[in-house]
Chain A
Amino acid sequence: MNVELKNIHKHFGKVHANKGINLNIPSGTIQGILGENGAGKSTLMKILSGFIQADSGSEIILDGKSVTIDSPADAIHHGVGMLHQDPLDFPPMKVLDNFILGRFTGGLFPNRKEATQDFNLLAKEFDFSFDPESYVDSLTVGERQQLEIMRLLWLGARVLILDEPTTGISASQKSKLFSTLKKLPEQAMTIIFVSHKLEDVESLCDQVAVLQAGELVGEMKPPFNTSKLVEMMFGKVVTLGERQPVLTNETMLELKNVSLEDVRLKIKNVDLNLCAGEVIGLAGMEGSGQGMFIRACAGLVRPVGGRVKLKGQDLTGKSYHAYKNAGVNFLPAARLEEGLVPGLSLTDHFVLAEQPKGIFIDRVAGQKLAEDRIKSFNIRGTPLSMVESLSGGNQQRAELALLQDPLSLVLLEHPTRGLDIESVIYIWSKLKERCRQGASIIFISSDLEEILQYSDRVLVFFSGKVSPPIDAATTSVEQLGQLIGGKGWPEKGGSHA
């Protein structure tokens, strides 16, 4: 199926997520879509698959016919199916039931016999092995993808969108997925492959489009020029401001052979020595392991192996509250979900963060504390303002104002995401002040310039692999971009000294 996107615009409030994107994908093509987090890839794909609707004036043309797609069901009716990053299936149900779901053939009872036949036929065609009567929660992520692809094809998809499909699946499943995908264009299917993994895109796609900040900034056909792609994804390097490293020889945090695990990722044998006053930036596409890593440094994720020491004190396996007492504070990215308590005022927050002793609330002291903090952190709000009524930047400042004093280690997730430049500079000046007082900082950011500007060293994460610490002063956006995209990693032995 021939897919043509014309002048696609999408606003979320003030955010302009897609800025007039034009893209033509001929029938039988495997189209790669590249871009960093927030570049607008997902928005574009959600528009094409009916999850959200584009602003008026945008046009989607399928096989020469202009269509409006109002819902995912509508999309599949038009032949567009999307495979999501996290499989949208029903784990407690049987494979066959998952397969049948979404297909409306009329009648009260699904025709299981016919469905089973179709299922087995499709599975045979792609060389997948499933027991239709087994349960989905017994499948691996890769198998669930295969199931979802079969389901979408059975529903009549002629365009298949895959969002980061190679995250969380094994190498053999990946090669199977790719060989499956390569078969489909022969049947005039169109594949749209969304990824940040340069290698995958380069080995699979017939053409690649790169998005940056909501705009289509370039297209390329094989042979691919990796460094050109990286440049298009991350933009040109801007000149950096003055860097002021505050380094000492005193070790603040020591990670020895730390291994972490969750359902999707395994991080193996990380060693790290963080000095007092040092800032380390964690780079990588979202979900590459940096979130788990920073939570392990906070005591929120228990390592499956190795030791964590803070100022020589062994904290391995202790709770977050023990870490907190030792001077570790963690500020999560989801401000209103994890960091602040909606429904409580700024005063309430500051009072709680002081770990108050005693029974009765000292309102006068609380009021004064709140006024002081609001002033010194330049928060636009009153002591009685509810945190959810503050703007994002002010919520972030409020979170910073909650940091304990004194502090040894500050862990921050996307400390400046979505903030205007003035807030960014202000927040970093406050953080650097902490460094001068002897605290160390580890922060996650998807903004490479922020990482280069404010870190002393950088760790890059890619699918659970952790790079050796890179000196921020001598690296470049280009080099980090390659690593983030999975290029330039040593073949074996991912751990470092």
Chain B
Amino acid sequence: MLKGRLSGFVFQLLAFVLALVFVSLILIAAKASPMEAYKNMITGSVGSMRKFAEVLVTFVPLLLVTAGLLITFSAGLWNIGVEGQIVLGAIGTAWVFRQFVDSTLPAGLIITLAILGGMAFGALWASFAGALKTFGGVNEIFGGLGLNFVSTALTLYLIFGPWKREGVASMSGTEPFPDHFSLPQLPDLRISLWALGIALVGVVIVYFILQGTYFGLKLKAVGKNFRAAYLLGIPTWQYSMYSFLICGALAGAAGAIQVAAVYHRLIPSISSGYGYLGLMVAMLINYQAIWAIPVALFFAALNIGSIQLPIVMKLDSSLAGVLQGVLVLFVLLMEGVRQKFVKKA
């Protein structure tokens, strides 16, 4: 057991090193210094308080999405539709805000309602993918992917249609909401401790669901062997649906925070690819909730750290994505190598 864990760690470390070497080779091929690039990425992410706050702004939705995906992965489901669930969360929050624009209710209550509305919208959107899977036999990957496109179209329709700005609609999004509709932020920084708190609470709840509850245990049984779980008396399709609802609610919360604490309006690509990034984080941590926080933080740092690469080094900022993708691939690859290695030994 210990030997298994140790070898797992060694191989993951090896995967990390190999990923760095691989990306370095790409950089050398592009006639750039890998060392300088990595240095820039580090200073760009943790070089100042302001930069680190930006990392946290990215970290919050990423962590929420990853937490949600841990639930669907535990149930054996590939919830690719998470991206659309973020979008619907943002739409839901924006919708609630619009209902209360002229309201005299306390701002705290309105924001709470808006975030809950976002979670409900996200869960509803996820339930579509779940229903398609359970009742229609549509694989959740295809259903989710389709729903992602629909969610994008829905955002554009709202921004250019019913929710368009006074005068002329634009890609910059809807009219910003009043200032008191935003989650309180730290002075001079864009990060809201409330948002950070919600994300941390989310991942802790998911951790306890998976580790300590009968619900989590049943969910894992369904994910690992649907048939045997059914024979053991677990209502299998219902549990699949529950996992979609929970994941959708968490993704919806991510979308809600994008509206309530980051953009203060609905913009066209409000999900910013956090859904897909969350899938990568979940795969990288091998679906272990306990690793979600450090790895999501690391990925957020890579994203923010690469922002200044185009200015400083004339490198495209997509380098972060390259590094993240390569890392996931190498970790999966090394896991395969490890299993062969262990089997032989």
Interface residues of A (CB under 8 A from B): 320-321, 324, 330, 332, 337-344, 348-349, 351-353, 355-361, 402
Contact = CB atoms under 8 A, between A and B. Distances in A.
A349 B218 CA distance: 10
Nearest to B208: A360
Contacts of B212: 360-361
A356 B217 CA distance: 11
Interface stretch (B15-23, B106-114, B115-123, B227-235): B227-235
A324 B224 contact: no
Interface SS majority for chain B: helix
Interface in B131-184: none
Contacts of B227: 337-338
A361 B214 contact: yes
B217 A348 contact: yes
Contacts, number: 64
A320 to B, nearest CB: 7
A358 B220 CA distance: 17
Nearest to B211: A361
Given A337-B225, A352-B221, 6 more contacts: A321-B235, A338-B228, A339-B231, A340-B228, A341-B220, A359-B214
Nearest to B224: A343
A358 B214 contact: yes
Contacts of A340: 225, 228
A361 B228 contact: no
A321 B225 CA distance: 17
Interface of B: 212-215, 217-218, 220-221, 224-225, 227-235
14 contacts: A337-B225, A339-B228, A341-B224, A341-B225, A343-B225, A348-B220, A348-B221, A355-B233, A358-B214, A359-B213, A359-B214, A359-B215, A360-B213, A360-B214
B233 A321 contact: yes
Contact of A353 (B224, B225, B233): B233
Contact of A342 (B214, B224, B232, B234): B224
B225 A342 contact: yes
Contacts of A353: 232-233
A332 B234 CA distance: 16
Contacts of A349: 232
B231 A320 contact: yes
B234 A352 contact: yes
Nearest to B232: A352
Interface centre among B215, B218, B224, B228 (most CB of A within 10 A): B228
Q: Which 3 A-B pairs have the closest CB atoms?
A: A341-B225, A343-B224, A356-B214
A351 B234 CA distance: 12
Nearest to B221: A341
Nearest to B234: A352
Contacts of B235: 321
A348 B218 CA distance: 9
A411 to B, nearest CB: 11
A321 to B, nearest CB: 6
Nearest to A353: B232
Contacts of A337: 225, 227-228
Contacts of A342: 224-225
Most B Cβ at <10 Å: residue of A342, A349, A361: A361
A330 B217 contact: no
Nearest to A356: B214
A312 to B, nearest CB: 23
Contacts of A320: 230-231
B74 to A, nearest CB: 11
